[in-house]
Chains A and B, each alone.
Chain A
Amino acid sequence: MAVIEFERLSRRFDGQDVPAVNDLSLTVADGELLVVLGPSGCGKSTLLRILAGLEEADAGDIRLDGRSIIDLEPRDRDIALVFQQYALYPHLSARDNILYPLKVRNVAQAERQTRLGRAATMLNLDRLLARKPAQLSGGEQQRVALGRAIVREPKAFLMDEPLSNLDAKLRTHMRTEIKALVQDLGTTTFFVTHDQSEAMTLADRIAVMSAGTIQQVGTPDEVYQHPANRFVAEFIGSPPMNLLRARADGDHLVVADGWRIPAPPGGRQRPSLDASSGSGLTLGLRPEAIRLSQTAEPGALAAEVFLTEPLGSEVIVNIRLGDEIVKVRTAPEVRPAPHDTVWLTALPGGVRLFDRVTGQALAG
C-alpha cells in the first residue's frame, strides 16, 4: 500500500533531441490501479524503468509514501515489477522462481511456504510449480511472474505491458485475472500499456502520455468523454473522435460544410469560445455522439455515405462531409449503401470543442 509521487521528472537519452520524459509530475493514489497509456516511444516505459530504478532520471524526484526513492537501488525500493517478457529465471522451477525474492530477503522457511501456497492458490499454479519456465505456456509463465511479484507483498506493483506477448484470447482472460488480483490485494499498481482497451478495462485512472508528458489523468470515462486535448481525443476510442474544423456563429457552431450545431450549454466555455473564434475551433464528436437517420429530419444535415463497416455488434458508417470523413456508430441493422443520402444530428451532450491552434479542450 503506497502513494507514488513523480515530481518534475526528466530524462533525456544521449544523442536524442527530445527528452523521453519531460518535466513530468503525476501522483498514484494508495491502492489505485493507474494505467499509463500512450503510443510506443512516448516515454511510458522509461517512466516505469525510472520508477523501478533500472533507469536514472536527469532531474526530478520520485516519492514512495512520502520518502524519496530516486537515489535507491532497485532492490531497496520495495517495488515488484512484472516484465513484458515475464523474465522468469530459466534454470529455476516455477516454485523456485516464485520463492526467489523471498530467499533473497531471508524470509523464514515457514513463511515462504505459506506465501507460496497462497500465491499458487490465487493464481491456480499448484500443478505447475515443479516445471521449468520452458515447459510452461505463455499464460502460465505470466502467472508465475505475477506469483513472483505478489509473494513479496511489496508496496507497489509495476507492470510493463505484461499482456502484450499473449495471444488475443488469453490477453482478455489475463486482463480479467490481473484486475481481480489487484482488487483483491489492494496494492498500488502502476501499469504501462499502449493498448487502450486494456487501459479502459483495467484502470481506476488512466494517465495518457505523449512525447514525454502526461496529457491527461482521469477515470476511463473522463478520459473518453472529456478528452483534455486533441491528442487524447484522437488516441482514445476506436474509431477515434471525429475532429472537424468549425467556427462560432452566435449560439451555433458551423462546420465547414454548413452544418449548424448548437453550441454546448454552460457559461464557462462561452468567453473562451469567443476568444478562440478568431483563431478557429475544432469540433469533436464521438462516433456515437452523432445520430444517423435514413429519412429526412428537421434540422438534420443531409450527407452522402462513403463506406459502411459492419463490425457485428455495431456498424461504423463513413460519411463524406466536404473534404472530410465522419465516422458514425450505428445499430447493426442500419446498413446504408455508398452514395445513399443520410441525415445527421449531433447529440447535444456529445459536442466537444478544442482550440485549433493549441489543441486544448475549450468546453465541457
Chain B
Amino acid sequence: MSTSASPWRPRLPLPIRPGSADPRPTGATTAQASAAPGLPVEVAADVAVAPRTAARRRRGNRPRRSPVEWLLVHAAFALALLFFLSPFVWLLTAAFNARADYVLQWPSPWTLDNFRTVFTELDFSRYLRNSLIVSLSTMVLTTITVALAGYSLSRLDIRRKAWITYSILLLQTMPLSATMVPIYGLARELGLRNNYLGLILIHTAIELPFLVWMMKNFFDAVPRYLEEAAWIDGRSKFRAWFEILLPMARPGLAVAAGLSFLSAWSEVLMVLVLVDDPDLITVPFAFYRAARGSGSYQQVDYGIIAALGILYVIPVLIMFFATRRLMVRGLMNSTRGL
C-alpha cells in the first residue's frame, strides 16, 4: 500500500511519544489531525520517527478509500476551511481597500488610507497606549499574584484549605455581567472609575480564580523535597520559592501571563462600565465606537474597522509567538524535565 492512498494525512505526525499508546482512535484520525494545524512543529519533530511505523501499520489494517470518497472528504475540508478563513481574508482585503464593504472585495488599488485615518482621525495611538498599559499591568499583577497564591494553596498549612480552594473555583463560574452593577458602585465609591488602576484591578480579578487554581496544580507537581533541599542548603522559604520553585513552574507562569494579557486585551464590558473618559478607552472599546459611527449603523466605515482589526490583532500575535513554547508546555500541564 502506498502513501498516496491517504494523501490528506499531514506530513507531520501528531506528537505521540515513542512507546506510548497511540491516543488517536482510528476512525477520527484524519479529522483530528487536520483540525490541529496550530500544533507547534517542534513538539512533533522530536518524535517524528517512531510514530511513522505505527501509522503505517494502522493504515495496513484499513480498507482502501475509493476516489469518490477521497474527493468528498477533500471537498468537505475545503469548505470548512473557506468558512473559517473568510473573515480573516475579509479583514486583510478590507483594511487595504478605501471603499471597503461588508462583502469580500479585492482592493483596487491597495492603499494605506484606512490606517492613516485610524491614526490621525481616530487617535488610535492613544487607545493602543491605554490598552497596552492596562493589559501589560494586568499581566504583571496577575502573574505575581497567581505565583504567590498558587504556592500558598499548594504548600502552606492553611485552615479550611479545601474549602477556600473550591470557593475560588466557584468564583470562576460567576457570570461577569451579573456583577456589573455592584462593581460600578464599588468602583465609584473607591474612585476607581476613569483611571487605569480600576481597569487593571478588575481585569486581574476576573482572571485570578482560574489561574490561581492552575498555578496550584503546577506547584503541586513540583516535589516538596526540592524546596526542602534548598532550605537545608541555606535558603529562606521565600528565596527557595523564588530560586527553585518558580523556575520549575515557568510554563505555568507563561500560561498565566499569556492568558491574562489576552483577556485584558479583549475585555470590553468592564471598560464600558468603568470608563466614560474618551481619553481612557481601550482598543476594543474604540472598535465599538467606530462601528457605531455617527450614531447609526448605516454609515459604517468598514475599511477603518478592518484596519483597526489588524492593528488590534498584532500585539496578540506578538504575545503568542513570544510565549508559544512555554504556553504549549504549560497548557499540556507537562512537567517534563523535572
Which A residues are within 8 Å of any B CB, using their own CB? 52-54, 73-75, 77, 79-81, 83, 85, 87-91, 100-101, 104-105, 134, 148, 152
* Contact across chains for A89 and B226 when beta carbons are under 8 A apart: yes
Instruction: Give B219-268 interface residues, CB cut-off 8 Å to A.
Output: 223, 225-226, 228-236, 239, 244, 247-248
Residues of A within 8 A of B233 (CB): 75, 100-101, 104, 148, 152
Known interface pairs A73-B231, A75-B231; 6 further A-B residue pairs with C-beta atoms within 8 A, sorted by A's residue number: A54-B231, A75-B232, A81-B229, A89-B229, A89-B244, A90-B338
Give 21 pairs: A residue, B residue, CB < 8 Å, sorted on A.
Answer: A53-B231, A54-B232, A73-B236, A74-B228, A74-B232, A75-B232, A80-B232, A81-B228, A81-B229, A83-B228, A85-B225, A87-B223, A87-B226, A87-B229, A89-B229, A90-B226, A90-B248, A91-B247, A100-B230, A104-B235, A104-B239
* Contact across chains for A54 and B337 when beta carbons are under 8 A apart: no
- In the complex, the chain B residue whose C-beta lies closest to that of A80 is B232
**Interface size grouping (class) on chain B:** 10 to 19
> Contact check: which of A74, A87, A134 meets B337 at CB < 8 Å?
A134
The verdict on A52 contacting B232 (CB below 8 Å), with A85-B225, A90-B338, A91-B248 known, is yes
* Contact across chains for A75 and B235 when beta carbons are under 8 A apart: yes
The verdict on A75 contacting B234 (CB below 8 Å), with A90-B337, A134-B337 known, is yes
> Smallest Cβ distance from B226 to chain A, in angstroms?
6
Residues of A within 8 A of B232 (CB): 52-54, 74-75, 77, 79-81
Which B residues are within 8 Å of any A CB, using their own CB? 223, 225-226, 228-236, 239, 244, 247-248, 337-338
- CA A73 to CA B239, docked complex, whole Å: 14
Residues of A within 8 A of B226 (CB): 87, 89-90
> Smallest Cβ distance from A242 to chain B, in angstroms?
41
The 6 closest A-B pairs by CB, nearest first: A87-B229, A104-B234, A101-B233, A87-B225, A74-B231, A75-B234
- In the complex, the chain A residue whose C-beta lies closest to that of B222 is A90
> Smallest Cβ distance from B331 to chain A, in angstroms?
20
Residues of B within 8 A of A89 (CB): 226, 229-230, 244
> Smallest Cβ distance from A16 to chain B, in angstroms?
16
- In the complex, the chain B residue whose C-beta lies closest to that of A73 is B231
* Contact across chains for B223 and A105 when beta carbons are under 8 A apart: no
Residues of A within 8 A of B230 (CB): 89, 100
Residues of B within 8 A of A104 (CB): 233-235, 239
> Smallest Cβ distance from B334 to chain A, in angstroms?
13
> Smallest Cβ distance from A155 to chain B, in angstroms?
13
- CA A80 to CA B239, docked complex, whole Å: 18
- CA A85 to CA B227, docked complex, whole Å: 13
* Contact across chains for B337 and A83 when beta carbons are under 8 A apart: no
> Smallest Cβ distance from B235 to chain A, in angstroms?
6
Residues of A within 8 A of B228 (CB): 52, 54, 74, 81, 83, 87
> Smallest Cβ distance from A134 to chain B, in angstroms?
6
> Smallest Cβ distance from B33 to chain A, in angstroms?
30
> Smallest Cβ distance from A95 to chain B, in angstroms?
15
- CA A139 to CA B168, docked complex, whole Å: 43
The verdict on A101 contacting B234 (CB below 8 Å), with A54-B228, A83-B225 known, is yes
> Smallest Cβ distance from B319 to chain A, in angstroms?
24
The verdict on A105 contacting B234 (CB below 8 Å), with A90-B248, A91-B247, A91-B248 known, is yes
- CA A100 to CA B230, docked complex, whole Å: 9
- CA A81 to CA B233, docked complex, whole Å: 9
> Smallest Cβ distance from A297 to chain B, in angstroms?
58
> Smallest Cβ distance from B270 to chain A, in angstroms?
38
Residues of B within 8 A of A54 (CB): 228, 231-232
- CA A83 to CA B232, docked complex, whole Å: 11
- In the complex, the chain B residue whose C-beta lies closest to that of A101 is B233
> Smallest Cβ distance from A83 to chain B, in angstroms?
5
- In the complex, the chain A residue whose C-beta lies closest to that of B237 is A73
Residues of B within 8 A of A79 (CB): 232
Residues of B within 8 A of A87 (CB): 223, 225-226, 228-229
Residues of A within 8 A of B223 (CB): 85, 87
- CA A87 to CA B248, docked complex, whole Å: 13
> Contact check: which of B229, B239, B248, B338 meets A83 at CB < 8 Å?
B229
* Contact across chains for A75 and B236 when beta carbons are under 8 A apart: yes
- CA A89 to CA B245, docked complex, whole Å: 9
- CA A311 to CA B32, docked complex, whole Å: 58
- CA A358 to CA B59, docked complex, whole Å: 72
> Smallest Cβ distance from B159 to chain A, in angstroms?
12
> Smallest Cβ distance from B156 to chain A, in angstroms?
15
